[in-house]
Amino acid sequence: MPTSKLPTELWQHILSFSDHPTMCALSKVCHKFAEIVVERNEFVLGKCRIQGVTLPSDELLSLSFAHPQFPLDIPMWMTHNPFGARIYPRLASVRGYDVDEKDGKMQFATSSTQSGVAERRVIDLSTEHESIGIPKWIIDGVRPQVTVTGLLQRRDGSAVGPRVTATMGVWRLDGIQNDHTFLSKEPIRTDLCTLESGADRRVMQVDIDPTAISRGHTAVGGSDGLRVVLNSNCDVRFSDVGIHFELPDKVPPAFPAWLAESRELRESRATTAGTARLEGLFGL
C-alpha cells in the first residue's frame, strides 16, 4: 500500500515501537531510496531506457542537471513518452459529430439533427504541455519541432463519392489557470485537406514553426498548450489526431540569448513600481 494512503499519525505510532538501532537503520534505508529515485534522476532515466522511452540528447540532459532552473519531469515521461510517441490531445468540446473510442483513440463522425439538417460542426481538442512532461523552458528555449496529424475519411468508409474538404487549425494556448483554462488563445496555422473522388482516406498534417509557440503571453513566457480545431461541411470521419514533439540533438545557438532576455525581463518586472511583481520566466 502506498505510504500516501496512510495518515502520518499511524506511521508515527508504528515507528514509536522501534528501538534506536532500528530507527537508524530505517533512516539510512529512506535516505538510500531517496538517493536512488531523486539524485540526478539516474534511476528513472534507467527505467525510461528499459521501457523504450525517447530521451532528450545527453547535451540537453546535462544542461538540466547542471542548472536547477531547468527541471525535467522525467517520471512523467514513462507515462506519456512526449518526445517519442504521438500525444493524443483531450477532447475539449464537440458539436455536430458522434464520438466513438477505439483502442484508446477517439473517432468523430458527422451527425445530423432529427430533421436531417446538419448543425454547425466543430471538434475542439487541447493539450497542456506540462501535464505530459514538457516544461515551458523546453518550449520557449529549446524550441522543439511540432507536427499535428490526423486521418480524414469519408463517413461511410468507401472510396466512392464527391470531393471532400476539411480543415485542421492549430492554436497556441497561453496563461494556464488553476481551473485549467487559459488567459488567451491565438491561431497559429490552419490547413485545408482535400479528399478527391476515388480516395477513401488522407492524412491531414500541420507543421508548426517552433517560434510560433516559443513566445507567449508577456506574463507567462512560452505557450502552455496547444489547441487543435477540426471541421468540415462534408460527411466525414476524423480519427487518430495526435501531436508529435521532436527535440533537436543539441542546445540551440540562440539559447544563451533567450536566457539573457528572460533574465532581463524578470528583473524589469521585479523592479517596475506600482505593478504586481511577476516571478518571471521559469524562475530564472
Amino acid of residue 62:
S
Residue 279 covered by a domain: no
Q: What is the pLDDT of residue 112?
A: 67
Residue 240 covered by a domain: yes
**Pair (44, 183) in one structural domain:** no
Does the pLDDT at position 239 exceed 90? yes
Residue 192 covered by a domain: yes
Q: What is the pLDDT of residue 269?
A: 64
**Full strand arrangement of the beta sheet holding 225-231:** 90-95, 122-128, 225-231, 164-176, 182-195
Higher pLDDT, 112 or 247: 247
Mean pLDDT of the chain: 82
Q: What is the pLDDT of residues 156-177, one digit of tens each?
A: 888 888 899 999 999 998 887 7
Residue 282 covered by a domain: no
What domain range includes position 240? 53-271
Mean pLDDT of 94-98: 92
- For the chain, give the percent of residues with pLDDT over 70: 83
Does the pLDDT at position 2 exceed 60? no
- Say how far residue 90 (Cα) sits from the centre of its chain: 10
Does the pLDDT at position 209 exceed 90? no
- Say how far residue 31 (Cα) sits from the centre of its chain: 32
Least confident of 55-64, 91-100, 185-194, 266-275: 266-275
Q: Among 239, 230, 243, which Cα is nearest to 96's? A: 230
Higher pLDDT, 279 or 36: 36
**CB neighbourhood size of 37 (10 A):** 12
Tally of domains within the chain: 2
**Pair (75, 194) in one structural domain:** yes
Residue 207 is part of a domain; what is its CATH number? 2.60.120
Q: What is the pLDDT of residues 39-67, one digit of tens each?
A: 556 778 888 899 999 999 999 998 888 88
Alpha-carbon distance values, 242 to 24, 28, 39, 86, 106 (Å): 50, 45, 33, 5, 10
**Pair (228, 92) in one structural domain:** yes
**Pair (17, 150) in one structural domain:** no
Bridge partner residues of 146 (DSSP):
208, 245
- For the chain, give the percent of residues with pLDDT over 90: 37
**Pair (85, 220) in one structural domain:** yes
**Pair (97, 161) in one structural domain:** yes
**Pair (30, 122) in one structural domain:** no
**Pair (80, 17) in one structural domain:** no
Residue 276 covered by a domain: no
Higher pLDDT, 220 or 56: 56
Residue 281 covered by a domain: no
**Pair (11, 57) in one structural domain:** no
Q: What is the pLDDT of residues 245-268, one digit of tens each?
A: 999 999 989 888 888 887 777 677
Does the pLDDT at position 99 exceed 90? yes
C-alpha 210/C-alpha 225 separation (Å) is 13
**Pair (142, 38) in one structural domain:** no
Confidence of residue 218 (pLDDT cuts 50, 70, 90): very low
User: Is the four-CA dihedral 57, 58, 63, 68 of positive or negative sign?
Assistant: positive
pTM for the predicted model, two decimal places: 0.76
**Pair (129, 205) in one structural domain:** yes
Residue 32 covered by a domain: yes
Residue 195 covered by a domain: yes
Give CA angle at 107 (148, 136), nearest 5°.
Answer: 35
Q: What is the pLDDT of residue 159?
A: 80
**Pair (127, 169) in one structural domain:** yes
